[in-house]
Every structure is written in structure tokens, then in C-alpha cells.
Amino acid sequence: MKNILVGVTGGIAAYKSAGIVSLLKKKGYNVKVVMTENATKIIGPLTLETLSRNRIYVDMWDSNPHYEVEHISLADWADVVLIAPATYNIIGKVANGIADDMLTTILSAVSVRKPVFFALAMNVNMYENPILKENIDKLKSFGYRFIDAEEGLLACNYSAKGRMSEPENIVDEIERYSIFSKFENFDIVLKNKKILITSGRTKENIDPVRYLSNNSSGKMGYSLAQAAVDLGAEVTLISGPTNLKVPNGLEKFIFVESALEMYEKVDEYFKNTDIFIACAAVADYRPKEYKKEKIKKSDSDFVIELVRNPDILLEMSKKKEKQLLVGFAAETNEIRENALKKLEKKNLDIIVANNASVMGSDENVIEIIKKDRTSVEISQKSKVELAYDILSEVIFELEKRY
Ligand code: C5P
């Protein structure tokens, strides 16, 4: 996936297409931009030309120095096509086979095997119009992909659903696609599977202003949740505090703070789950007593008595029926040995062993060890990519059961 063709239509969010093109270029992609006539009234072609370092295509009838049939050569050149913003109008046109300008003509000539993404952006009433829904459903049935609009303040001053997703999110969706589309039947591999994931750290309050916690960012768990959604699963994510954006397409997102709260929620959902992935860095201890008022300092030392928190994964392993259990072992030493002990003690199907020093970073090196002691070592990769590797092993284990 090297060549990305960006189609810009005449929604006010066209200004954000500059951010998308710039981000794609920074990531090393070749970018060409096609604009509708209306889009040129919202954002200057020169901006996108400079950012993409390529000429902009608008009119079918521009003379071109290479004597190419440009709508065909551009459709062939693209590995991926992204329409951002995608207005009510462009979706209606493509869904009904209309090709009356450069962009729609290119779209009609893009091979059905290539991914085409529409990043929705429009007024909320247009967004809720059943005609749009029908057009989207039709396009989805042909394999077109949609990056849903988000809620927020719209150009028409409504605060509602309709604003285009942010450039980082759009680029992230496209990049993830290039990973998960390698799975055969990727959007149905985990169809009808209920996956419960814990992620993030927990926060154990001492008094109204102080707490015990750890360095876990939640990135691995959130990447797993997003990857599981991409592969068609119904995902419930139970998360402690993080700074991350909630993954798209979750069945349920439950925010918790303490280990006890996390335990209660996991316990509630566990019975009705097929796969439980415990990725959260749960505090093993909490203060015995929570002081309702801020503790005043004194000149002497201060001791906080801690009591054990439940080991959520261990407790669930005792209730295990059909569920496939995946745990994590973040260790500073004897990583494999410690991971194997946990695999045994918590009756896991899979344990992901890694070095605790990577907490918070975007990349990791892991070893995925299975119940039968076979393992797969995976060298330095982004947590987004690792999520698909871990789920591949989960899918492999599930297949063994049937
Ligand atoms: O024993 P240890 O805490 O290292 O085990 C780590 C694994 O157990 C992780 O999968 C983690 O999410 C889970 N865990 C848990 N509840 C705890 C502690 C750990 O679910 N209280």
C-alpha cells in the first residue's frame, strides 16, 4: 500500500483534507489528490498540491501533457482510495453509478478489488436521511468501506453527529486495513464471537487527591479491542484510566477506576463471553482504608496499610466453561519462566510474555505461549500490528476446538 488517491469533495470539512494529505506524506505514502469543483471553493488546490507534491486533478477536460486517459491511469495508480470528506452527494452518486466529473469517473474505474474508503461528513439531518443509509448499505454490500462521522459541533451550528473524523483517525483506519485485510475473510473471522477485554491501569484511591497506580498506557488492550472489532467480533472493553481514544465499533465501553470495580464488571460480563483477554495492569493491592478527607502531613513517616485486590483473571479461570482465556505477563526478569507459571496457575489458553520496561511505549517485543507450550516469538512491532498477531493465535486456538 504505497499510493493513496485522496478525493476531496465540497463539504466544509474539506479543510481537514490538508491534515490528511500532510500526515500521509509524513508517513511516506505517495499521494495524489482529486478535487470536485465545489471542493476548490472551500480549500485552495495550491494547498493540497504543495502538501501532496503532485498536481491536483479537478476537471476531466484539462489538457494534460502526457496524453494519458487520466481517470483510468489514476484509478490504476491507486492502491487505496480515500474520499474525505465524503458528502451526501458523492455517496448518492457513486451508489447510483453516476460518473459526471473527474472524481466520480475515477471511482467508477477503480477495480472492485481495491479498497475505497468514504470518511463521512455532513449535517445531522442529511446523516440521518434514510436515503443515505440505503446508499451506504448498498455500497457496503459491494465492499466499499466507511469511516463514520463523529459527534461534535457542525458547521451548521448543530451539535450532533456528522463531523468528519480527525485526520489521525482516518489515516489510522486506512493503515489498520492494510494489516487486517491480510486475514482471509477478515471481517467475519470473529463474527458472532463475544470478546471481553480489560485494559489500562487501575487507580486505587488513598484520599480525595492521592492514589496508587502504575505506568500502563492501555495501548495494547485498546489495539486488541480495535483489531477484534476489525475482525468482526462483538467487543466489550472494560478500561481503567487512559489517555486514549475509545476504539470504533465497540459493542460496549465500560470505564472503571479501581481493581474492585473492574472485577465486578468483568464478573458481570464473563459468563456471556467467548474470549476473555486480560490486558489491564491491575493493582495487586489497594489501601485498606480510604480517607474521606485529605491526609494532612506531619513530621513523622507515614505508613499506608495495603490489602490484596482480587486477581481478576485467576478468579475468572475458576469460573471458566467454554471461554478461551488470554493473559499477559509483563516481567522484568526471567520473563518466560514467570509467564509459564502464570499460564499454569491461571489455567490460561494463551499468555503473552513481554518485558515490563515497554509499558507506555508504542512498540513491543512479545512471545505468545500456548497451553501446549508451543510458542511464537514476535520481534519489535507496533502494538497495533501485535494485536493482529495475538488475535491470529486466538483464532488458531478457537479453530482447534472445532
Ligand atoms: O500475576 P500477574 O499480575 O503478573 O498476572 C498478569 C495477568 O493477570 C494479566 O493478564 C493481568 O491483566 C491479570 N491480572 C488480573 N487481576 C489482577 C492482576 C493481574 O486480571 N489483580
Total domains in the fold of the chain: 2
Q: Which of 181, 215, 250 is the last residue of a domain?
A: 181
The H or E element that residue 285 is part of is strand 285-287
**Would you say 83 and 101 are in contact if contact means Cβ atoms under 8 Å apart?**
no
Q: Locate the ligand 1 atom nearest the alpha carbon of residue 328 and give its number.
A: 10
CA gap 297, 195 in Å, rounded: 45
**DSSP sequence for 174-214:** HHHHHHHTTSTTTTTTTTT-EEEEEESB--EEEETTEEE--
Q: Between the CA atoms of 313, 316, 317 and 318, what dihedral angle is there, to the nearest 10 degrees?
A: 130
Q: Is the CB of 352 under 6 A from ligand 1?
A: no
What is the model's pLDDT at position 67?
57
Taking the complete model, does pTM exceed 0.85, yes or no? yes
Asked whether residue 134 falls in the same domain as residue 212, the answer is no
Asked whether residue 388 falls in the same domain as residue 339, the answer is yes
- State the CATH number of the domain containing residue 327: 3.40.50.10300
Asked whether residue 173 falls in the same domain as residue 299, the answer is no
Q: Which of 152, 181, 210 is the last residue of a domain?
A: 181
Query: Residue 309 gets which letter from DSSP?
Result: P
Q: Is residue 187 part of a domain?
A: no
Q: Is the CB of 325 under 6 A from ligand 1?
A: no
Overall average pLDDT of the 115-119 stretch: 97
| Burial of residue 360, with CB atoms counted within 10 A of its CB: 0-12 exposed, 13-18 middle, 19 or more buried | exposed
Q: Is residue 250 part of a domain?
A: yes
The one-letter code for the residue type at 100 is: D
Asked whether residue 174 falls in the same domain as residue 199, the answer is no
Q: Is residue 323 part of a domain?
A: yes
Asked whether residue 382 falls in the same domain as residue 354, the answer is yes
Buried b / exposed e along 16-49 (16+ C-beta atoms within 10 A):
bbbbbbbbbbeeebbbbbbbbebbbebbebebbe
Asked whether residue 86 falls in the same domain as residue 32, the answer is yes
Asked whether residue 294 falls in the same domain as residue 168, the answer is no
Asked whether residue 59 falls in the same domain as residue 81, the answer is yes
Domain encompassing residue 319 = 194-400
pLDDT band at 64 (very low <50, low <70, confident <90, very high): low
| Tens digit of each residue's pLDDT (9 = 90 or more) over 149-200 | 999 888 777 788 899 999 999 999 999 998 888 888 888 899 999 999 999 9
Sort strands 375-382 and 275-278 into parallel, antiparallel or unpaired.
unpaired
CA of residue 328 to ligand 1 center, whole Å: 7
- State the CATH number of the domain containing residue 134: 3.40.50.1950
**Would you say 191 and 232 are in contact if contact means Cβ atoms under 8 Å apart?**
yes
Percent of all residues in the chain with a pLDDT value above 70, rounded to a whole number:
98
pLDDT band at 246 (very low <50, low <70, confident <90, very high): very high
Q: Is residue 355 part of a domain?
A: yes
Q: Is the pLDDT of residue 13 over 70?
A: yes
What is the model's pLDDT at position 184?
82
Q: Is the CB of 277 under 6 A from ligand 1?
A: no
Chain centre to alpha carbon of residue 321: 29
* Active-site residue, from 153, 156, 188, 246: 156
Is residue 279 annotated as part of the catalytic site, yes or no?
Answer: no
**Would you say 251 and 274 are in contact if contact means Cβ atoms under 8 Å apart?**
no
Asked whether residue 42 falls in the same domain as residue 161, the answer is yes
Asked whether residue 80 falls in the same domain as residue 209, the answer is no
What is the model's pLDDT at position 156?
75
328 is in an annotated binding site: yes
CA gap 202, 217 in Å, rounded: 11
310 is in an annotated binding site: yes
Asked whether residue 159 falls in the same domain as residue 198, the answer is no
CA gap 230, 307 in Å, rounded: 39
Beta bridge partners of 147: 119
CA gap 258, 265 in Å, rounded: 11
| Tens digit of each residue's pLDDT (9 = 90 or more) over 277-319 | 999 999 999 999 999 999 999 999 999 999 999 999 999 999 9
Q: Which of 140, 157, 181 is the last residue of a domain?
A: 181
313 is in an annotated binding site: yes
